[in-house]
Structure 1
């Protein structure tokens, strides 16, 4: 999916045209990276990232608690897709990371039969093709899904070093945190999964 920063610009492409590959297995695929309080990078401060790729070449993930200026209805209108459900205007589109924020990704659980989709693990899938938006507009998409713009990426060895530097906690990604927890509570809720009160920490080792 290509989303232009001006929502009124019409572009019916929903294909990821860059090179993005996901391996068959990845050490942290399907886990959360939960920013430690000492991580002051504005892109990740108090952030929660679901890791989609992690291997010897690096890592790729999607932030799940950064709201963009758009709603789902804005994106459907940009893609010239008609929809009937007025509540779509209240569904936020998230910022998945600082890289290529014109690219769109749909994070969901049901694998489905989409044109460009990858199963991160047995639970999570990421789809980048337009057909999933067509289905969502028609009320036939995944039961729950997040639409995010952009992604987060790490070079080979970078994430491993950040974990050693206590920049992140890790936890198995949770349906409840991704879909049912308010955005402003996802950081603390994700840390609760491993019994950590991040508000009381200054540094803490990551959990693999």
Structure 2
């Protein structure tokens, strides 16, 4: 695991995960390098929050924007918004997230993308989340050694075409794994 960076992967919480905040979590790993990691959980809806409500709070017109659920992106900075989106929108300060096969999505945290979506000129595919999951240098690697996470291949289909509550199962199935057969703990040899 040392020196292997996992940006572009979908980090899936293993059954029996040591931290209940991440149960059935599907984190799109946007950054992973020697400085740590940043992921956006795309598998859990933030109850009571809609995209239109966020636009209203920011004083943006909602007439052209679709309304949808907002995701619980993670426990760090839970009031900060992030948009994972298709690469057909290039405004603002987006960070491209790549898999080994090519681009997965882009990550934006600017008002520019919210304005563009509100005006009907944003990306063709997107999801919005509040908060993120962050790991200090070496922390994610350590958690992966202790039955915490599985690094699945990043999938645009799972990210953009699967309902949030079905993404955990969908990501496992995309890997060819039946999540119902996974053990909730590991043994020692």
TM value normalised by structure 2: 0.87
Q: CA deviation at 1:111?
A: 5.5
C-alpha contact 2:104 2:156 (8 A) present in aligned 1: no
Which runs of 5 or more residues in structure 2 are unaligned? none
Listed as ranges, the gaps of 5+ residues in structure 1 are 1-25
Displacement, 1:184? 1.7
What residue number does 2:63 align with? 84
Contact 2:15/2:185, CA 8 A, preserved across alignment = no
CA distance in 2, matches of 1:111, 1:128: 16
Q: What's 2:9 paired with? A: 31
**Counterparts of residues 82-161 of structure 1 (less than 5 Å):** 82-85=61-64, 88-89=66-67, 91-110=68-87, 112-121=89-98, 122-161=103-142
Pick closer, same or farther for the CA change 1:145–1:166 going to 2, 3 Å. Answer: same
TM-score, normalised via structure 1 length:
0.79
How many residues end up aligned between the 2 structures?
A: 178
Where has structure 1 moved over 4 Å in runs of 4 or more? Answer: none
Q: Aligned to 1:103, what secondary structure does the other structure show?
A: strand
- How do 1:61-72 residues align onto structure 2 when only pairs under 5 Å count? 61-68=39-46, 69-72=48-51
RMSD value over aligned CA atoms? 1.8
Secondary structure of residue in 1 paired with 2:130? strand
Corresponding residue of 2:26: 48
SS in 2 for 1:187: helix
Q: What is the SS of the residue equivalent to 1:38?
A: coil
Tell me the CA shift for residue 112 of structure 1: 2.9
Q: What's the CA shift for 1:113?
A: 3.0
How far is 1:203 from its partner? Answer: 4.8
Contact 1:103 1:149 in 2 (8 A): yes
Aligned-partner SS, 1:43: helix
Inter-partner Cα distance in structure 1 for 2:24 and 2:183: 13
Deviations 1:102-126 (A, max 9, x none): 1111101216332222112233211
SS in 1 for 2:128: strand
